[in-house]
Structure 1
Amino acid sequence: MSNPAENDKKLSKINYIIISSLIFGLFFGAGNLIFPLHLGQLAGHNWLFASLGFLVTSVLLPLLSILAIALTHSKGVYDIGKPAGSWFALLFMVLIHLTIGPLFGTPRTATVSFTVGIAPFLKASQMSTGLLIFSAIFFIAVFCISYNQSDILTTVGKVLNPLFLVLLFLVLLVAFLFPLGKLSTAPVNPAYVTGKSSFVNGFLEGYNTLDALAGLAFGVTIVTAIKQMGSDQGVAFATAKSGSLSMLAVALIYLLLILAGVMSLGKFKLSANGGIAFAQIVQHYGGQFGQAVLAALIVLTCLTTAVGLVAVFAQDFHEHFPKVSYHVWLFITSLLSFLFANVGLTTIISWSKPATMLLYPIAILLIFLSVCEKFFKKSRIVYSVSLFFVSIPAIMDMIVSLPAVVSRSDFGLAVANLRNLIPFADRGLSWVIPMLLGVSIGTIIFEYLDK
């Protein structure tokens, strides 16, 4: 068996920098800056525990998701779920792509662009019409670029993304040199009054980035890039090393944004979402000119992200549902993204919660089973039993997180009462014990049958 360290020698430092940059670009876009900022405003002076929880689901879990793709030699999210059965793999793939695509992830690229870049220049009465016009232009551009499968935006993105990061760094530098408030005296949202509650709520806020789900969908891009640079046998090691470097950079940016959010409470009230908070901070320090420059960059970087999301959605759906062409799927996802974008950023974030409460526990389980593949050998019984145990509380969490018309109905309240019998349900982690129980039972059955 070859030594990973020997294969590592085939990749130069430049290769690792390129791979790390690719991973960084996959997991950090303009949209990601709004969630840590908002978390900082929610956590106040309890920011440390909230940050630790947030980094687990927004940094560590995405890193493990791409490592799972590398270790299992998967071609995408479908292969990750395939040990549980083809029908489950297809269903999981569809749900993942709908979540990071036209239902939540892709519309968010337009609404973040609008909220941060355009809304500050409009009157309150112009917001709805402005979002309608902006999102229409935005997704027409996305469709046209993706339709021709042009790489012009990717090429431009290589310049825009670093420039955006430089300007973001300058904003954060000024925010720390001339703080709006003190970290130690920032008010705390009631849900963050203790260290334990801050950690758990930070953990759940990390779901909003959707990066662990995106890692399962796009991890093959990273694996392919590594294979093109060196030996197939060193892919997992190279993924872990370059991924750790890039995710450390992401973690640092997240931490700085959280602190900026905390300090912003010295001047601004808790915002409805991080996009509003970021626009307020930039306008305070940079004025109209600074806001305009950053607005242009955010719009363009979000456009780059949107093109990638609609393209991968159309490609994967065409592969699994070939009777519908790539271009038709592209039109469908672009149209749906436009329609959902017009409900607004705050509504998109709130609506995405039920989806993440369902999908994240299942994704965490699949990532765990994939990373520990040598122990479970893609056993159908381990996957099936574990998924059965984790899916029940995940479905319950989803129902309880739905709008009041469902969650406060007789059905919703009955589900909530049943779910509350499970340990940690009050913290939104009802899936933890069932997952451990499911994996244990599945493993015992697997070991018994394997004898």
Structure 2
Amino acid sequence: MQTQKLSFKHYVIIGSMLFGMFFGAGNLIFPIHLGQLAGAHWLTAGWGFLLTGTLLPLLGIIAISVTRSSGIYDLAKPIGKRYATLFMILTCATLGPLFATPRTATTPFQIGIASYVSASQAPLYLLIYSLVFFSITYWASRKPTGIIDTIGKLLNPAFLILLALIFGIAFTHPLGSARTANVAAAYQNGAFLNGFLQGYNTMDALAALLFGIAVVTTIRGLGQKEPGAVAKTAAKSSLLSISLEAVIYLGLIWIGATSLSQFKLSADGGIAFSQIANAFMGVPGELILAIMATLTCLTTAVGLATSFSEALHDKFPSISYRTWNRLSCGASFLIANIGLDQIIAWSTPMLMFLYPLAITLIILSIASPLFRHDPVVYRWTTALTLIPACFDALGSAPAVITRLGWVQGLLAFDDKYFPLAKIGLDWALPALIGLMIGLSWHVVRQALTAHAYKMNQN
């Protein structure tokens, strides 16, 4: 099978596309807020954040490359077709019209517009803003083959120029010293683990599994056809984009920590970033931030809408790509008007449920050549991860759920019998036990098969 050798320029274009798809609403506001929470411990928290915010998405792309999967369904299929379908639908819904895609409109609105309008006027302005935002998103994502031009060549350079301007002022005229910044109670001794869990909010590990479809389509469109070459190109390109993200994250976390010299701990990163921009450049600074946030969130919205529509059209081909795209953009527009706070509050339990399953799936996929892609290893690991993941989801749900008596009973059971439950990692030990059981089963079965074959030969 003939394949086209790509130049460094092609890698940069693909990496730029991935960066634009990954870097969106949460990637701006959560690092800033993490910096304010961690204070003097900003770097320790930052390393934890980078694990789930950058390394895990990179491993997700590599997992798709190693297994030569066309997307999230193929990646999860060794566990079972029904599980793969359900996991794909939940991930698509989370990244699509339920949480991530609506957040791409509400975040820039919160940063750049909400502070200039009254509380009574905000719903009307959000309605207008989100209508325009998702109209542009639908137009840009109506043809999957146009995504590389829309994201990689047009919007990314504009965003990076605006971000560089903010960083340049922040580093030459810092608001204060990060070394002496106050540290929130939870970050006194748990900065790394809290940073690790805050990285869930970016949703990038889930996005990496979904964006694999767009990556493969783009690489093939550039002339590479052989599966091994496609896999290597995807891994190299993603490394470029993830490295740039890591640098930006650490810069934003540091800026958040230095801002405590002039501002109190904010309710969310959007408010904090608006205050910081105003301190640097006044109203023009807030305007630049609003434009920057809109650009970066728009690129992510286009990527999410495209990947959502392609994934579900591929699984359910009787429904056209255009129909799925209309559903994604239309539902995202409606849910965006619920407001940013509600979206974040209800997305957290879903992320606490999906992330342990995504982490184990990524690790299993990368390591799968070592156990010959044996489904039994996948199934044991996933089965024992599933139970504590459900507990994590309940524990992070809004108060209207956690106040229920039966939920409190389950959470008390979780704290008592699952190690690391208090720090949100109660799934880690069960997942490891499941992995050991699965590997042991695999080794024993291989040995029995080899022995039976030897006996038949004799």
TM-fit CA distance, 1:186: 1.0
Amino acid at match of 1:271: S
* More moved, 59-68 vs 327-336: 327-336
Deviations 1:136-187 (A, max 9, x none): 3322343344457694994376233212111111111211221212111211
Q: Kindly tell me: are residues 148 and 216 of structure 1, through their superposed partners in 2, closer, same or farther at Cα, counting changes over 3 Å? A: closer
Range with bigger deviation, 137-146 or 369-378: 137-146
Match of 2:419 among 412, 423, 428: 423
**SS of residue paired to 1:188:** coil
Pairing 1:91–2:86 present: yes
Aligned with 1:344 (options 336, 339, 351):
339
The worse-fitting range, judged by mean Cα deviation, of 388-397 and 161-170 is: 161-170
- CA drift at 1:409: 1.1
Which ranges of structure 1 fall in alignment gaps of 5 or more residues?
1-6
The corresponding residue for 1:4 is none
| Other-structure match for 1:183 | 178
Alpha-carbon distance in 2 for matches of 1:118, 1:304: 19
Q: Find the counterpart in structure 1 of residue 42 from structure 2.
A: 47
Measure how far apart 1:122 and its partner are.
Answer: 2.0
Q: Measure, in 2, the Cα distance between the counterparts of 1:151 and 1:43.
A: 41
In the alignment, which residue of structure 2 is the partner of 1:376?
Answer: 371
CA displacement at 1:347 relative to structure 2: 2.4
Q: Where does residue 192 of structure 1 map in the other structure?
A: 187
In the alignment, which residue of structure 2 is the partner of 1:3? none
State yes or no: 1:204 paired with 2:200.
no
Task: Kindly state the Cα deviation for residue 246 of structure 1 after the two structures are TM-superposed.
Answer: 2.7
Equivalent residue number for residue 282 of structure 1: 277
Q: Which stretch shifts more, 414-423 or 147-156?
A: 147-156
Query: Which of 430, 433, 436 pairs up with 2:429?
Result: 433
- Contiguous gaps of at least 5 residues in structure 2: 448-458
Q: 1:13 to 1:147 in 2, by over 3 A?
A: closer
Identity fraction in percent: 48
Q: Structure 2 residue aligned with 1:215, among 208, 232, 246?
A: 208
**TM-aligned CA distance change 1:44 to 1:121, over 3 Å:** same
1:21 to 11, 16, 22: 16
For residues 67 and 345 of structure 2, what CA distance do their matches in structure 1 show?
Answer: 34
1:448 — aligned with what? 444
TM-score, structure 2 normalization? 0.90
How many Å apart are 1:441 and its aligned residue?
0.2
**Which deviates further from its counterpart, 397-406 or 355-364?**
397-406
Cα distance change, pair 441–27 in 1 and its aligned pair in 2 (3 A): same
TM-score, normalising length: structure 1: 0.92
SS at match of 1:417: helix
Query: Which residue is equivalent to 1:67?
Result: 62
What amino acid sits opposite 1:255 in the alignment?
Answer: L
Q: 1:8 to 1:176 in 2, by over 3 A?
A: farther
Quote the residue 1:78 is aligned against: 73
Contact 1:154–1:304 (Cα < 8 Å) also in 2: no
1:269 aligns with 2:260: no
2:99 corresponds in structure 1 to 104
Could you tell me which amino acid in structure 2 is paired with residue 445 of structure 1?
A: W
Counterpart contact for 2:57–2:206, Cα < 8 Å? yes
Distance in 2 (alpha carbons) for counterparts of 1:348 and 1:52: 26
The one of 340, 348, 355 equivalent to 1:353 is 348
Structure 2: how far apart are the matches of 1:297 and 1:398? 33
**Structure 1: distance between partners of 2:233 and 2:144:** 29
Q: Contact 1:157 / 1:301 at 8 angstroms: preserved in 2?
A: no
Contact 1:36 1:257 in 2 (8 A): yes
Question: Residues of 2 paired with 1:82 and 1:336: CA distance?
Answer: 28
Letter in 1 for 2:60: S
2-side partners of 1:335 and 1:329: how far apart? 10
CA distance in 1, matches of 2:303, 2:213: 14
Summarize deviations over 1:91-111 as a string: whole Å, max 9, x none. Answer: 010011011111111001101
1:313 maps onto 2:308 in alignment = yes
Deviation at 1:379, TM superposition (A): 1.4
Count of residues paired in the alignment:
443
Q: 1:71 is matched by which residue type in structure 2?
A: V
Secondary structure of the equivalent of 2:113?
helix
Q: How much has 1:12 moved relative to structure 2?
A: 3.4
Aligned mates of 1:71, 1:99 — CA distance in 2: 25
31, 34, 53: which one pairs with 1:36? 31
Helix, strand or coil for the counterpart of 1:370?
helix
Counterpart Cα distance in 1 of 2:346 and 2:299? 24
RMSD in angstroms over aligned alpha carbons?
Answer: 2.4
Contact 2:50-2:196 at 8 Å conserved across structures? yes
CA distance in 2, matches of 1:327, 1:233: 31
Change (3 A) 1:12 1:146: closer
Q: Which residue of 1 aligns with 2:326?
A: 331
> AA paired with 1:264?
S
* 1:248 aligns to 2:243 (yes or no): yes
Higher mean C-alpha deviation, range 164-173 or range 76-85: 164-173
Give, in whole Å, the separation in 1 of the partners of 2:62 and 2:6: 17
* Equivalent pair of 2:32/2:253 in contact (CA under 8 Å): yes
Q: CA deviation at 1:295?
A: 2.1
